[in-house]
Amino acid sequence: MARGWVYLVAVLDWRSRRVLAHRVSITMEADFCVEALREATARWGAPEIVNTDQGSQFSSAEFIAEVQRIGAHQSMDGRGCWRDNVFVERLWRSVKYEDVYLKGYDGVSAARFHLAAYFDFYNARRPHQSHDGRTPDMVYFATLPTMKEAA
């Protein structure tokens, strides 16, 4: 932001790179991470695995309890192993260079507004080279019938 910091969490479908939910917070408490996971689960179903880095918000009792409540397994990346979480790291780079650095948000409300708009763009209109020019929405929604048949 122009002044200060906000923290961003995103729940990302690894296969399609679709952002299923996100939250912005002014603190590193676990509550905004739990809220994002709850939203993603309520809208799109519970994942088999929840992969995170080793941040304190993800190792908190509140977050671990939520992962267990939804029936998922928690996987944490190795310390200092950015490659374990490369899809999220690529997302952060895109967010920063395609939105945050260009707009320099004036405050938390502006950050929330612009990030929500960016993720709508990212999911629905931003083509991905790794998906042969298809968007995350195209890939995600094309796999839903297959995923439901397997369940």
Q: d(Cα 135, Cα 126) in Å, to the nearest integer?
A: 6
Q: Is the predicted pLDDT of residue 148 greater than 60, yes or no? A: no
Domains of the chain (ranges; CATH) run 7-150 (3.30.420.10)
pLDDT computed for residue 29 by the predictor: 93
CB neighbour list of residue 85: distance below 8 Å, 6 or more residues apart: 51, 52, 53, 77
- The reported pLDDT for the residue numbered 44 is 95
Determine the longest span between alpha carbons in the chain, in angstroms.
49
Rounded average pLDDT over 52-57: 86
Model pLDDT, residue 146? 57
Q: Is the four-CA dihedral 45, 33, 2, 90 of positive or negative sign?
A: negative
Q: What is the mean pLDDT of the chain?
A: 90
The pLDDT value given to residue 144? 72
Residue 46 has pLDDT above 70, yes or no: yes
- Amino acid, res. 63: F
Amino acid identity of residue 60, one-letter, is S
